[in-house]
Structure 1
Amino acid sequence: MEEKNQSFTSFILLGLSEKPYLRMPLFSLFITVYVLCILGNVLILILISTQPQLHTPMYFLLGNLSFVDVFFTSITIPRLLYSLLSKDLSISFHGCFAQIFLFHMLGNMDSIVLAIMAIDRYAAICRPLHYTSIMSRRTCISLLTSSWIIVSLNGTLYTVMTSTLSYCSLVIHHYFCDIPVLLSLSCTDTSPQKMVLFTEGSLILVSPMLVILCSYVLIIRDILKLRSSKGRQRTFSTCSSHLTGVFLFYTSACFIYFRPKSLYSPDHDSVISVFYSLITPMLNPFIYSLRNKDIKQAVKKIIQCGRKEKEHGGSVVNTVAI
C-alpha cells in the first residue's frame, strides 16, 4: 500500500459536474459569487478600520469574521475556477493536505468567532453596565488569539491523520479535498480516524454552538422581561443578523460532518459545501449591514468625503485655469 501511494503525486478532483457543457456556466456563476464575496468582506474591513464610530468590540469581531471569510473562500474557490477553465483536475498531495489544514482551521475559526459574537450580544443586552469591562479590546484579542491556536492544532491533527493513510483510489468526487471524502478512498481501516473526527470535531464545532445557544437563552429571557413591545422588538432586531449568519453556517456544516452514513452522497455534499464555504461568506456582509445603521452611516460618510474631495479637486483645477 505504501508503494502504491508513493507512485502517485496527485489526486484528481472531479469538481461539481463532469458534463463539459456546464463548465462555462458554472465558471461564470462561481466567479461572480466569489468576487461579490471578496468585495463585500473587504468593504466591511475597510469601513471598520477607517471609521472611528465602528471601533467597538461588536465591529471588531465582525471585522475578524470578514477577514476569516475572505481566506476561507479563497482556499477552495480559485482552485475550482482554475479547473473549470483549464480542465486540469489534478491537485498535488501537498496541495490537497494543505487545503485540508487551511479549510478546517478557518472553518472552525468561523464558528468560534460567531460564538464570541454571541457573547458580545449577551454582554451588550444583559450586562450593559459592565459591557466595556466584559468585552474590552484586551479580552477580545485574548479570545481570538487562543482560538487561533486551538484551530491551528485542530487543523494539524486532521492533516496528519489523513496524510498518513494509504489510498486505493485517487479520484475525489468533490471540488476540494475534505476529510470524509478522503477517508472513503482509503484502503486501510479508518475507524480510528473516524472516531477522532467525530469526537474532536464534535468538541470544536458543538462547543461554539452551545455557547451561542446559552447566550441566546439568556438574551431571550431578558428580552421577555421588557415591558415595552417596541423595546423587545428593537432589542431582538440587534441579534437577528447574527442569528441568521449562525443558522446558515451551522445547518450546512452539521449536515456534512454529523449526518448518518446512509445520507452520504458526493453530489449532495458538494452542493452543500458550496453553501457554507462560499454562499454564507458572500451573504454575511449583506446580512450584517443591510439593517445596520452604523454601517450605512459609515458608507454615506465615505461617499460624502469622496464627493467633497472631487469637488475640491475640481475647484482647484478651475482656480489654476483662471
Structure 2
Amino acid sequence: MEPGNNTGFSEFLLLGFSDDPELQSLIFGVFFSIYLIAVLGNLLIFMATISDSHLHTPMYFFLSNLSFVDICLVSTIIPKMLVNIQTQSKAITYAGCITQMCFFLVFVELDNFLLSVMAYDRFVAICHPLRYTVIMNPQLCGLLVLVCCILSALHALLQSLMVLRLSFCTHLEIPHFFCELNQLVQLVCSNTFLSDLVYVALVLLATGPITGILYSYSKIVSSIRAISSAQGKYKAFSTCASHLSVVFLFYSTGFGVYLSSAATHSSHSTSTASVMYTVVTPMLNPFIYSLRNNDVKRSLKSLFGGKI
C-alpha cells in the first residue's frame, strides 16, 4: 500500500470552530487569553516547586513535571490555531499535521501516565506512611518519570508511523482546530484494519494508567475508612483532593469527547468538547493545585517577595 504522503497532496485544512469572519477576533482573543493563563499559571507552579526546598518532595516533583507537560501540550496546538486566524488561512502542511499530532499524543499520554504515578504516590503516602520516604526515594521518582516519557514517546511514534501508512481521500478538511488522531483517521478512505488498529492501540495504552489510578484509590479509600478520627480522615483525604479533581476533569472530558464523537458523529460538538481536556484542563490545573494548598501559596508568596 502506498504511504499517505504519496497520495498527491501537501496539506490539510483545519476548519476550526466557525467560518464567520466576525467571530474570528473573539475566538482569537479567548484562546490567546486561555493560552497565556495556562502557560503563566503552570510556569509559576513549576518555578515554585523547583525554587522552594520545602517542596522538594515526590508529590511536588511529579506536580512540577505535570505543569511542564501542560505548558508543552497547549503550546503544541494553540499557537498554530492563532497564526491561522491572524493570517486568515486554514492550511497546515502534511508534515506539520503529522508532527503536531505526534507531539500532542506525547504530551497527552504523559499527562495520563503522570496522573497515574501521582495516584501511586498518594497510595504509598496514605497506606504506607512509615515507609513513604524509603519507597518514594529520588531514584524511584526519577525512574518513574523517565519510564512515563519513554512509553509516551514510543506510543506517539507508533501511532504516527501507522498514520503515515494510511491513504487519505481527496476530502482533506479536518473539522477541528488541530490535527487530532481521531479526526485524521476519519479521513482515511482505505485500509480500515490499520485505522482500527490505531484505535485499539490508543485504548490499550489508556487502560493501564486508569486501572492503576482506580486500584490506588480503592486502597486509599479502604485505608481512610479504617482511620478512627474524623479529623484524621479529613486530613488524609485532603492530600488527595487536588489530584482527584484533576483526574476527574481530565478523564471525564477526554472520554466525553471520544464517546460523544462515536455516538453522534458531530464534528462541531467534538471539536468544542475537545477544548475542555486539551486547553481548559491544563489552564485549570495550577488553580486546582494552588487555591487549597498552603504549601504552594507560601512558596508563591516567597517567589514574589511576599507581595501576593
Q: Please, what TM-score do these two structures have when normalized by structure 1?
A: 0.91
Question: Alpha carbon RMSD of aligned pairs, Å?
Answer: 1.8
**What's the counterpart of residue 192 of structure 1?**
194
Q: Secondary structure at the match of 1:176?
A: coil
Contact 1:102 1:155 in 2 (8 A): yes
**What's the counterpart of residue 59 of structure 2?**
58
Contact 2:66 2:114 in 1 (8 A): yes
Larger gyration radius, structure 1 or structure 2? 1
Q: Secondary structure at the match of 1:75?
A: helix
With 5-14 and 115-124 compared, the bigger mean Cα shift is at: 5-14
Contact 1:109 1:151 in 2 (8 A): yes
**What's the counterpart of residue 178 of structure 1?**
180
Amino acid at match of 2:194: P
Q: Within 5 A, what are the aligned runs for 1:61-210?
A: 61-168=62-169, 169-194=171-196, 196-210=197-211
**What's the counterpart of residue 281 of structure 2?**
280
Deviation at 1:5, TM superposition (A): 4.8
**What's the counterpart of residue 17 of structure 1?**
18
Q: Secondary structure at the match of 2:9?
A: coil
Quote the Cα distance in structure 2 between the aligned partners of 1:247 and 1:66: 17
Gaps of 5+ in 1: 308-322
The alignment covers a number of residue pairs equal to: 306
Quote the Cα distance in structure 1 between the aligned partners of 2:238 and 2:251: 20
Deviation at 1:4, TM superposition (A): 9.4
Seen in structure 2, the aligned counterparts of structure 1 residues 260 and 171 have a Cα distance that, compared at 3 Å, is closer
Quote the Cα distance in structure 1 between the aligned partners of 2:5 and 2:292: 56
Gaps of 5+ in 2: none
Contact 1:183 1:190 in 2 (8 A): no
Amino acid at match of 1:219: I
Amino acid at match of 1:221: S
Quote the Cα distance in structure 1 between the aligned partners of 2:263 and 2:213: 29
Quote the Cα distance in structure 1 between the aligned partners of 2:277 and 2:262: 20
Contact 2:69 2:107 in 1 (8 A): yes
Q: Secondary structure at the match of 1:300?
A: helix
Q: Within 5 A, what are the aligned runs for 1:210-221?
A: 210-221=211-222
Q: Secondary structure at the match of 1:76?
A: helix
- Percent identity reads 39
Q: Secondary structure at the match of 1:185?
A: coil
Q: Secondary structure at the match of 2:132?
A: helix
Deviation at 1:214, TM superposition (A): 0.7
Contact 1:252 1:276 in 2 (8 A): yes
Deviation at 1:46, TM superposition (A): 0.7
Deviation at 1:167, TM superposition (A): 1.4
Quote the Cα distance in structure 1 between the aligned partners of 2:136 and 2:5: 53
Amino acid at match of 1:143: L
Quote the Cα distance in structure 2 between the aligned partners of 1:70 and 1:36: 10
Deviation at 1:305, TM superposition (A): 6.3
Q: Secondary structure at the match of 2:186?
A: helix
Deviation at 1:153, TM superposition (A): 1.0
Quote the Cα distance in structure 2 between the aligned partners of 1:262 and 1:59: 39
Which whole-Å deviations, capped at 9, do the CAs of 1:226-277 have from their partners, x for residues lacking one? Answer: 1111211121111111011001111122233455733221111111111101
**What's the counterpart of residue 304 of structure 2?**
303
**What's the counterpart of residue 311 of structure 1?**
none
Q: Secondary structure at the match of 2:12?
A: strand
Which whole-Å deviations, capped at 9, do the CAs of 1:29-79 have from their partners, x for residues lacking one? Answer: 110111000000000111111111011100000000001000011110011
Contact 1:5 1:167 in 2 (8 A): no
Quote the Cα distance in structure 1 between the aligned partners of 2:147 and 2:182: 27
**What's the counterpart of residue 35 of structure 1?**
36
Q: Within 5 A, what are the aligned runs for 1:247-258?
A: 247-258=248-259
Seen in structure 2, the aligned counterparts of structure 1 residues 190 and 259 have a Cα distance that, compared at 3 Å, is farther
**What's the counterpart of residue 312 of structure 1?**
none
**What's the counterpart of residue 48 of structure 1?**
49
Quote the Cα distance in structure 2 between the aligned partners of 1:181 and 1:297: 43
Deviation at 1:304, TM superposition (A): 3.2
